[in-house]
Structure 1
Amino acid sequence: MTSSAKPSRSSSTSSTATEADVVVIGAGHNGLVSAAYLAEAGLRVLVLEAGHLPGGNTVTEELTLPGFAHDSCSSAHVLIQSNPLLADDELGLLSRWGLRYVHPDPAVVLPRADGQTIVVHRDLDSTANEIGKWSDADASAFRELIGEWNGGLAAAHGRWSSGFPADHDGYEKLRARSAWDVIHERFGHPAVRDLMVWLSFATIQDPRRPGTGVLPSSITAGRLRFGWSTPIGGSGALPAALIRLLEARGGAVLCDAAVERIETRAGRAVAVHTADGRRIAARRAVLSSANLARLPQMLEAVPDDLAAANAAWRPGLSVFAVHAALTGNLTTRSAAAGLGSTEGIARQLDAFYRGETDATDPWLLVVNQTVVDPSRAPAGAGTFKILTVAPWDRADGNDWAEAKHGYAEQIVQRVRERIGGLEPDDILAMRTESPRDVAAHNTHNLGGSCHGGEFVLPDGQWLAGWPSYATGIDGLFLTGSTSHPGGSVSGRPGRNAARAVLTALGMDPAEVMSSR
């Protein structure tokens, strides 16, 4: 693993600390984003992480062989590029703290079963011309889709993502629809529909579900603008930069420090207790990025809002991953490739809900980031990942510990049929992770979900993230992927929660962040 992606685990100061202004539970990227803003505002911040490494699902590890750095979960950091954290470099992560990205072109390639390939470029005209090879009408529709997004919907989406009202009737109507309906309404050619459905699946949400209607626009516009945004050194480079800032401001991260209980006094959060018996006082606030399905277990008395969040949470789509060390790179010459047709993805999702897998033509994300970041492997070699979805419980009753290898071979074969460089002799080592393994990798990944799951309210409304950062307990705040606007590497829950904490403490968020 390269040094840029290897955050420090703890310091002597943090390991003996007994109090802080703000105690943050969980060192995922959102918890660290919050901590960095709060520290920049002058607060003394201590972050407690249950695992042995900080980063949560933005971790880079040697999963297969020494010298091969794999992103355990997240790989692309596209959504966070439009967050003012990076767009305006509010904390200096890019200019001062060593975070570096490459934004490659092409953004992603989609090799098709008929031998042709659709290429998504970092350019509207080039991508529209690519679509025009299949359909002139769909090329025009694609330009219109992106034009509408850039003409006002993107700004509304930014306000909504930041926890403000969207103030755009068209945006609210679009967001309430399903990505599936939007795509089938606007595009006619099967190949173009395949492309748009594949892109819309990027945040691991069923595109047929109402509430996903902005994804065809938002995900596609992000790829056009930023490509497959790749952190140099691995996904862990983001938490590493945040920790450098935090420590420079007097804060710290303490790993192997699972929080068991949040102590309250007179209705206010005042301290946390770790599993190994330590009590750490929180002078001003406690900020939790714990999964909202678990947070109530840390409280003696659960307020109504957190009880409602706990009752509404569902794991959503659980994921399945294959990591491999390769003798070289794949033949796509792109950091990312996509497989899966519209019909194949629908079959896969229907099978998922039945507790089955369908590998005939499923949604597959194929990541080969050593194409653009060769520092992640020995000279000439490559790292490789396939990500897809699979059920937590198998309807056939077979144990994933054994069944995962057969499914891995099936999806590797699907990739091998369309992409070169993945023959058996090209694979030096392979690691397969079923949804059960994904959950074991990070305590936040309940049910094998690495995107925070979802919330289904009593009235049937669906939310990707819980909308409030404050809670019914004074001084206790929420962040992380179960907070608005949900999972993926966006940093939005972290930045939004920091604003909520600073405002509640009578401090001006404008000292460290813009009004966006």
Structure 2
Amino acid sequence: MTADVIVVGGGHNGLACAAYLAKVGRRVVVLESQGVLGGLSATEETVKEAPGFQMNTGALDLVFSNSDQSVIEELDLARHGLRFAIADPWGSYLNPDGASIALWRDPARSVDEIRRFSSRDAAAFERLNLLFTDLWLAVRPYLQDHPTRPSLRTIGQMFVHLAKGRRSFRPLLRMLMASPEQLIEEEFEREEVKALMANLASWSMLPLSEGGSGGVLAMCSTYFNQKSSRPVGGTGSFAASIAQCVRAHGGTIRVDAPVAGILVSADGAAEGVELASGERIKAHHVVGAIDPQRLMCDLVPSSHVPARTQQELRALSNLRWNIGVFKSDAALSHRPDLVGGRQELWNGLLFLGPTLDYIKRAQLRAAAGQIPDTYPQWTALPSVVDRTQVPQGSEGETLFLAMATVPVQIEGSEWADEAEKFGRQALGFLDEHAPGISDAVIGSFVRTPDDYHAMAGRGNLYHADMTLAQLGPWRPTPSLSGYRTPVRNLWHSGSGAHPVGGLTGWSGRTTARTIDAELGGSAKRLGARRRIPLRIAR
């Protein structure tokens, strides 16, 4: 049998693409190289000393997925087992001296937290949140639509929101062009507030001084406006529920099925895949829901990739600054106390790093290929709000400790030689905020940039840097934008495709709509809108 569509990659976007296609009767096969679904959003038992403790590979919260036109609702994922736990506060700044700022799901309550430090900073935070909310409302329809052929409805909605928020447009435009550091220094006076905002911005994996990346600070407003939630059982439950939807509609999913190459016919059309085992599977269309460089440079025969596309991929900004992610999972015997006594801060993420300069120092050392001697981190005990992540009856906790301020490549050394020591140092810094946490560790498991590289090119969680030149109609590159590749019937989806990274499924959904239309499907079947082409130079 020839499948209608083969999806290479069982991350949440690949699964979403498959689910939407299977839902309208397409014969779909999903091939995942790992033994577990979810990709960078998987949940696994990684700590061998602590069976039953569930750890999240790279993500923790679903920030955008609860917005209008949610994949969760459209695929009826609740029926397929998806449930949520609520973390409130969703994040907090904590200083070793006990000073803290909690970010609650209610923005007004968060503003009150900042007001304890500075009325000026509270007013600035509130104003920025309103500005970024205007931005979010204006761009959300486009993020959920086709990047080069948005619908008339999408364009109309964008203009309506831009008109309503026209007074915000000028300051917003400048914010998007500025660097996070510039905005933070201009808007805030207290080091605690500056550090909070800098820690949020650091997860773009771009230097805080990088111009054109100020928009990453909009993350706060999306947490507030979308009411971020945590899947019960870990982020892997999101992928698992989508997979269940695929199977319920007749789709096939295979794990431990690494693809060695895309089969391309003599006339330049994708016609299936060859697995590492040598098995060949034929299909009318193939979707690469993986990073673009791996898809086009490793899986497609180079003779079928135009020179222009090869040039674009060589020039692709992909962790260009050598700043990547280090993560440590740990099983804890109990829940430690936090300095300052605010145990409710364990409900969400802890943003640790006392000052903006402390965070910048880690970034600068990473960019130079040096192991940081400062340890800004996003840390959480996910099991505090979701006891399914630890064995029944256990008093233990799961520790999520992640840093996006480490070198991808170390000058004069290797991560294999540095990981254990660096993990201890990062945990030692956490111990300054949660005394005794080091002694509570039952066992741990670290992931370095090398480990993430095995899952995505250079270990980039977003598959391509989120710079202005690599967003929208140019994401990830001009010749790969709009999900279509230069190889006929081969498509690109995932975090490196429009809109951006994050647990949404939007990229997979729009890819599915585009392919279904190519196969002669009605736009109404998958909720697609009538489209008009944008003239984008390629």
Selected match of 1:452 from 463, 481, 495: 463
Selected match of 1:135 from 118, 123, 129: 118
Change (3 A) 1:142 1:335: closer
| Inter-partner Cα distance in structure 2 for 1:455 and 1:130 | 30
Which residue of structure 2 lines up, in the alignment, with residue 85 of structure 1? Answer: 70
2:466·2:500 contact (CA, 8 Å) conserved in 1?
no
1:315·1:448 contact (CA, 8 Å) conserved in 2?
no
Change (3 A) 1:323 1:74: same
Selected match of 1:71 from 56, 59, 77: 56
Q: Secondary structure at the match of 2:34?
A: coil
Change (3 A) 1:203 1:350: closer
Verify: 1:477 aligned to 2:491, yes or no. yes
Give me the TM-score of the superposition, normalised by structure 1: 0.88
| Inter-partner Cα distance in structure 1 for 2:56 and 2:526 | 30
Instruction: Kindly state the Cα deviation for residue 103 of structure 1 after the two structures are TM-superposed.
Output: 2.4
Verify: 1:394 aligned to 2:407, yes or no. no
Instruction: Kindly state the Cα deviation for residue 419 of structure 1 after the two structures are TM-superposed.
Output: 1.9
Verify: 1:178 aligned to 2:184, yes or no. no
Change (3 A) 1:205 1:507: farther
Which residue of structure 1 lines up, in the alignment, with residue 39 of structure 2? Answer: 56
2:428·2:438 contact (CA, 8 Å) conserved in 1?
no
Verify: 1:235 aligned to 2:231, yes or no. no
Q: Which amino acid aligns with 2:431?
A: R
| Inter-partner Cα distance in structure 2 for 1:314 and 1:260 | 25
Instruction: Kindly state the Cα deviation for residue 196 of structure 1 after the two structures are TM-superposed.
Output: 1.4
1:359·1:411 contact (CA, 8 Å) conserved in 2?
no
Which residue of structure 1 lines up, in the alignment, with residue 389 of structure 2? Answer: 376
Verify: 1:326 aligned to 2:332, yes or no. yes
Instruction: Kindly state the Cα deviation for residue 463 of structure 1 after the two structures are TM-superposed.
Output: 4.6
Which residue of structure 1 lines up, in the alignment, with residue 141 of structure 2? Answer: 159
Selected match of 1:343 from 357, 375, 387: 357
| Inter-partner Cα distance in structure 2 for 1:36 and 1:90 | 10
Verify: 1:244 aligned to 2:241, yes or no. no
Which residue of structure 2 lines up, in the alignment, with residue 427 of structure 1? Answer: 441
Which residue of structure 1 lines up, in the alignment, with residue 535 of structure 2? Answer: none
Q: Which amino acid aligns with 1:159?
A: P
Verify: 1:32 aligned to 2:43, yes or no. no
| Inter-partner Cα distance in structure 1 for 2:466 and 2:120 | 37
Give me the TM-score of the superposition, normalised by structure 2: 0.84
Which residue of structure 2 lines up, in the alignment, with residue 14 of structure 1? Answer: none
| Inter-partner Cα distance in structure 2 for 1:307 and 1:172 | 32
| Inter-partner Cα distance in structure 1 for 2:232 and 2:466 | 34
Q: Which amino acid aligns with 1:72?
A: T
1:288·1:478 contact (CA, 8 Å) conserved in 2?
yes
Instruction: Kindly state the Cα deviation for residue 230 of structure 1 after the two structures are TM-superposed.
Output: 1.1
Per-residue CA deviations over 1:481-503 (Å, capped at 9, x if unaligned) read: 22123323232221222222223
Q: Secondary structure at the match of 2:138?
A: helix
Q: Which amino acid aligns with 1:49?
A: E
Q: Secondary structure at the match of 1:76?
A: coil
Which residue of structure 2 lines up, in the alignment, with residue 365 of structure 1? Answer: 378
Change (3 A) 1:509 1:180: farther
Query: Which ranges in structure 2 are unaligned for 5 or more consecutive residues?
Result: 163-168, 338-342, 531-538
Per-residue CA deviations over 1:91-110 (Å, capped at 9, x if unaligned) read: 1113x211111222111121
| Inter-partner Cα distance in structure 1 for 2:273 and 2:28 | 13
2:93·2:192 contact (CA, 8 Å) conserved in 1?
no
Change (3 A) 1:197 1:32: same
| Inter-partner Cα distance in structure 2 for 1:480 and 1:198 | 25
Change (3 A) 1:82 1:312: farther
Which residue of structure 2 lines up, in the alignment, with residue 6 of structure 1? Answer: none
Which residue of structure 2 lines up, in the alignment, with residue 506 of structure 1? Answer: 520
Q: Secondary structure at the match of 2:351?
A: strand
| Inter-partner Cα distance in structure 1 for 2:291 and 2:21 | 21
| Inter-partner Cα distance in structure 2 for 1:411 and 1:26 | 32
Verify: 1:272 aligned to 2:273, yes or no. yes
1:203·1:488 contact (CA, 8 Å) conserved in 2?
no
Per-residue CA deviations over 1:270-310 (Å, capped at 9, x if unaligned) read: 22111211221112x21111221122232231035642442
1:45·1:251 contact (CA, 8 Å) conserved in 2?
yes
1:48·1:253 contact (CA, 8 Å) conserved in 2?
yes
| Inter-partner Cα distance in structure 2 for 1:250 and 1:61 | 26
Q: Secondary structure at the match of 1:98?
A: coil
Give the RMSD, CA atoms, in angstroms.
2.3
1:122·1:226 contact (CA, 8 Å) conserved in 2?
no
| Inter-partner Cα distance in structure 2 for 1:235 and 1:439 | 20
| Inter-partner Cα distance in structure 2 for 1:202 and 1:490 | 17
Instruction: Kindly state the Cα deviation for residue 51 of structure 1 after the two structures are TM-superposed.
Output: 1.4
1:306·1:471 contact (CA, 8 Å) conserved in 2?
no
Change (3 A) 1:345 1:462: farther
Change (3 A) 1:182 1:497: farther
Instruction: Kindly state the Cα deviation for residue 359 of structure 1 after the two structures are TM-superposed.
Output: 3.1
| Inter-partner Cα distance in structure 2 for 1:423 and 1:387 | 16
Q: Secondary structure at the match of 1:53?
A: coil
1:329·1:370 contact (CA, 8 Å) conserved in 2?
no
Q: Which amino acid aligns with 2:294?
A: R
Instruction: Kindly state the Cα deviation for residue 157 of structure 1 after the two structures are TM-superposed.
Output: 2.5
Q: Which amino acid aligns with 1:380?
A: E
> How many residue pairs end up in the alignment?
485
Which residue of structure 1 lines up, in the alignment, with residue 107 of structure 2? Answer: 124
1:109·1:334 contact (CA, 8 Å) conserved in 2?
no
Which residue of structure 2 lines up, in the alignment, with residue 303 of structure 1? Answer: 306
Per-residue CA deviations over 1:371-421 (Å, capped at 9, x if unaligned) read: 0001111221111021113112212x2332221111111111111101245
Instruction: Kindly state the Cα deviation for residue 228 of structure 1 after the two structures are TM-superposed.
Output: 5.5
1:178·1:212 contact (CA, 8 Å) conserved in 2?
yes
Selected match of 1:313 from 307, 313, 316: 316
1:194·1:342 contact (CA, 8 Å) conserved in 2?
yes
Per-residue CA deviations over 1:120-168 (Å, capped at 9, x if unaligned) read: 1111110001111111111111221122233x31122313422347655
Which residue of structure 2 lines up, in the alignment, with residue 46 of structure 1? Answer: 29
Which residue of structure 2 lines up, in the alignment, with residue 385 of structure 1? Answer: 400
2:328·2:423 contact (CA, 8 Å) conserved in 1?
yes
Per-residue CA deviations over 1:206-242 (Å, capped at 9, x if unaligned) read: 343233222212x101222455521101111011101
